[in-house]
Copies of this chain bind each other. A is one copy, B any other.
Amino acid sequence: MVGNGFMGAAHSQGWRVAPRFFELAATPETTVLVGRDEHRVAAAADNWGWHETSTSWRDTIARDDIDVVDIVTPGDSHAEIAIAALEAGKHVLCEKPLANTVAEAEAMAAAAERATEQGIRAMVGFTYRRVPAVTFARDLVAAGRIGQVRQVRAVYLQDWLRDAESPMTWRLDKTRAGSGALGDIGAHAVDLAQFVTGRQLASVSGVLETLVAERPLLAEGRGLSGTAAAERGQVTVDDVALFTGRFDDGVLGSFEATRFSTGRKNALRLEVSGSDGAIAFNLEDLNSLQFYDATADPAVQGFTKVLVTEPEHPYVSAWWPAGHMLGYEHGFSHQARDFVDAIVRGEQPRPSFADGLQVQRVLDAVETSSGAGSAWTAV
C-alpha cells in the first residue's frame, strides 16, 4: 500500500478485517507499506500491521511477491503510481478521486484497459457504494421497486470549514487538491447517485463558490514572530458546489457539495423518486434506508425506516446479529472482499477506472459550466 495518511488507516483496517469475517477467494497479506518519510511510515506500519516498509513505491511495485498495489496518496500522484503498477502487472486499488485532472484519469483508464487484457484488474475506491444500505438501495431501484426513476437529489454536507479562522491547508490549494468540496465530497455524491440509479450524468449546469477567500497560514515559526500571525493564504478552491445534472436517459438531478453546512458533519444524502416509490439515504444514519412503496395499501403508505442489518441485506450476514450497527470502516472490508474476489474470479471489479474517469469528467464539466455562467455542459 502506498500512502500513510488517514485513508491508509481505513484501508489497512479493511485488508486486516475482511478475511476475519468473509470467506475470501484468496487471503490478502499486508506486506509492504510505502511512504515518503521513513520514520512516519515505520510508525504507521507498526500501528496498522504491515510487515515491511519502504520509501520507494517504484522498488515495491517491482517486487515479484507483490500482487496488489493499493494507492492512498493524494490525488496528484495517483496517475503515475497506478499506471506504473498496472504496467508492472499488479492489480491496483486506487483511492478516489481517480486523479486531479481528466487527462490523468484518461491515461489511467487507458492503462487499466490495456492491463485488463493481461488479466490485471483496477478499481477505484468509492467505498460508500459498499455501505449495506446503499447497495441495498441500488438493488431496490434495479429491481424496479420504485418504478421508473424520475428525480434525484444528492448532497454531501459537512461543516469543518465553517470557522473562517480555521487555518489554510493543502486541501484548499487548487494546485494540490484539484478542487475543493467538488472533488473531495461532491465526487461521492455523483458516484452514489450514478451507482444507485444505474445511470450516468450526461450534462450539467452549475456554480462553484468560495465563501472564505483567505485563511490564516499555519506557517513554520508562526506564533514565534509577531508578523507571522497576520499572514494569510489564498483559498483557490470552491467551498461550495451547486449543480443540476441531466442523466443519460433525461432524468434531472440536483447536487450540492459543501464543507460549510453548519451542523452537518458527514451528511451524504441521496433521495431517488420513482413512479412507484422512493428511497432516501443519509450517511449520518448509515445503517438505515428510508423506503417508500407507492404500490402499497394507500392508508399505510409512508417512508419505512429499514434497519439494514438483517441477514438478507448485502454484506450483513458476515457480521453481527440483526440490529447490531456497522460503522464507517466496514465499507473498506467490503471493498477488500469484492476486489479480491473479482481478481480471483477474473471479473472486472467496479467501480472501474473507467467509472472513476466518468466521475472526473462530471466534475470537470461542473467547473466548465461554472466558468461559463452555468451554461449546460456535456460530460
1/0 contact string of A320-334 vs chain B (CB within 8 Å) = 111111111110000
In the bound complex, residues from chain B placing their C-beta under 8 Å from that of A375 are 373-375
Do residues B322 and A328 form an inter-chain contact, with CB atoms below 8 A?
no
Selecting from A11-19, A33-41, A70-78, the interface stretch reads: A11-19
- Residue A153 interfacial (CB < 8 Å): yes
Do residues A10 and B320 form an inter-chain contact, with CB atoms below 8 A?
yes
Which residues in window 198-248 of A have CB below 8 A to B?
205-207, 209, 211, 240, 242, 244
- Residue A376 interfacial (CB < 8 Å): yes
CB distance from A375 to the nearest CB of B (A): 6
A261, A263, A274, A376 — most chain B CB neighbours (10 Å):
A263
In the bound complex, residues from chain B placing their C-beta under 8 Å from that of A205 are 205, 207, 373-374
- Residue A126 interfacial (CB < 8 Å): no
1/0 contact string of A265-292 vs chain B (CB within 8 Å) = 1110001011111100001111110011
Question: In the assembly, how many copies of this chain are there?
Answer: 4
Do residues B323 and A326 form an inter-chain contact, with CB atoms below 8 A?
no
- Residue A100 interfacial (CB < 8 Å): no
Do residues A244 and B299 form an inter-chain contact, with CB atoms below 8 A?
no
In the bound complex, residues from chain B placing their C-beta under 8 Å from that of A288 are 302
- Residue A58 interfacial (CB < 8 Å): no
CB distance from A159 to the nearest CB of B (A): 8
A interface residues with partner B (beta carbon < 8 Å)? 6, 9-10, 12-13, 16-17, 20-21, 47-49, 136, 140, 145-146, 150-151, 153, 158-160, 162-164, 205-207, 209, 211, 240, 242, 244, 252, 254, 256, 258, 260-267, 271, 273-278, 283-288, 291-294, 298-307, 309-310, 312-313, 320-330, 373-376
**18 CB < 8 A contacts A-B:** A13-B20, A16-B20, A159-B273, A160-B322, A162-B275, A207-B244, A254-B254, A263-B278, A263-B302, A264-B278, A265-B307, A266-B309, A266-B322, A266-B324, A301-B304, A320-B328, A373-B375, A374-B374
